[in-house]
Amino acid sequence: MTLDLQEKFDAVIAHHDRIEPRDWMPEGYRKTLVRQIAQHAHSEIIGMQPEGNWIGRAPSLRRKAILLAKVQDEAGHGLYLYAACETLGVSRDELVEMLLTGRQKYSSIFNYPTLSYADVGTIGWLVDGAAICNQVPLCRTSYGPYGRAMIRICKEESFHQRQGYELLRTMMGGTDAQRQMVQESVDRFWWPSLMMFGPPDEESPNSARSIAWGIKRNGNDELRQRFVDMTVPQAEALGVTLPDPELRWNDERGHYDFGAPDWAELAAVIRGDGPCNAQRLAHRRAAHDDGAWVREAATAFAERSAR
């Protein structure tokens, strides 16, 4: 019986079709998806904080409207992804609990601080840009609800990247002080952006399994290369320098060569020792506690409506 189910599952994966919530799936596949989708959902929610920090200090009404829309989009992405994760038999309460207790992770990038308004532009350009490289292949992931959530998310991510680039371009056309602000911001975010793709493939034990299951479609190093190749011409057009002396075009490979990020730094940030880990989780816990009355009122209303 189980063999038939396994064969059917393998055939769906081999044909690049979708597995749906009602279908049988191996327990390892389900667990890997819960971990990946939850980590992704948590990243969207925690990712609202570094930029949310600047909403009250936006330099104009136009910039404020753009930033508000972007941060609200990230909340929506978190909700699509929590809903996709719930189809795997895990409740929203459990997911929130695992974020708040640190048992599930979120993207390392959101443990870095935002020190100037240029960071809003740099995050849009580099961080959302890296997210797009990671996420576009996930539109074809083997689990239906995840793939469909990603299609909606990717449409909004391309707006996020453009608004960031447009902000940086405006600043680069301004004063020397503004240009310096952009360069300083790019210097801080370049390496952490490359780390967003995770450790090198040979040190990423789950990667091969995820690719075999069709959850991931590409390795970490391949996606990192794609991001570098896409970003270098954009940096040249902007007039900023990427802080990597080893960065140069390789004619033979048809790709840019680049230096290795500081993997010890990535390991430290994932372990909880990044510059803002404690602050991000403390802020999230406080927001969760502040929202308790909303959840209680919604539950009471739902119970009364059902009667």
* Chain contacts with Fe ion (rule: CB under 5 A): 44, 74, 77, 128, 157, 160
Q: How many residues does the chain have?
A: 307
Q: At which residue do the structure tokens 């479609």 appear?
A: 217
CB of 114 or CB of 244, closer to Fe ion = 114
CB of 75 or CB of 237, closer to Fe ion = 75
- Smallest gap, in angstroms, from Cβ of residue 76 to Fe ion? 8
- Smallest gap, in angstroms, from Cβ of residue 128 to Fe ion? 4
Distance CA 97, CA 61 (A): 37
- Smallest gap, in angstroms, from Cβ of residue 104 to Fe ion? 17
CB of 67 or CB of 90, closer to Fe ion = 67
Distance CA 1, CA 175 (A): 70
- Smallest gap, in angstroms, from Cβ of residue 157 to Fe ion? 5
Closest CA to 110 of 39, 164, 181: 39
Q: At which residue do the structure tokens 């189980």 appear?
A: 2
Do 157 and 135 form a contact (C-beta atoms < 8 A)? Answer: yes
Distance CA 88, CA 81 (A): 11
CB of 40 or CB of 179, closer to Fe ion = 40
CB of 9 or CB of 80, closer to Fe ion = 80
CB of 179 or CB of 226, closer to Fe ion = 226
CB of 42 or CB of 179, closer to Fe ion = 42
Distance CA 243, CA 259 (A): 10
Please state the separation of Cα 131 from the chain's center in Å: 5
- Smallest gap, in angstroms, from Cβ of residue 291 to Fe ion? 21
- Smallest gap, in angstroms, from Cβ of residue 208 to Fe ion? 26
CB of 128 or CB of 244, closer to Fe ion = 128
- Smallest gap, in angstroms, from Cβ of residue 131 to Fe ion? 6
**C-alpha gyration radius of the chain:** 21
CB of 44 or CB of 119, closer to Fe ion = 44
- Smallest gap, in angstroms, from Cβ of residue 123 to Fe ion? 8
- Smallest gap, in angstroms, from Cβ of residue 47 to Fe ion? 7
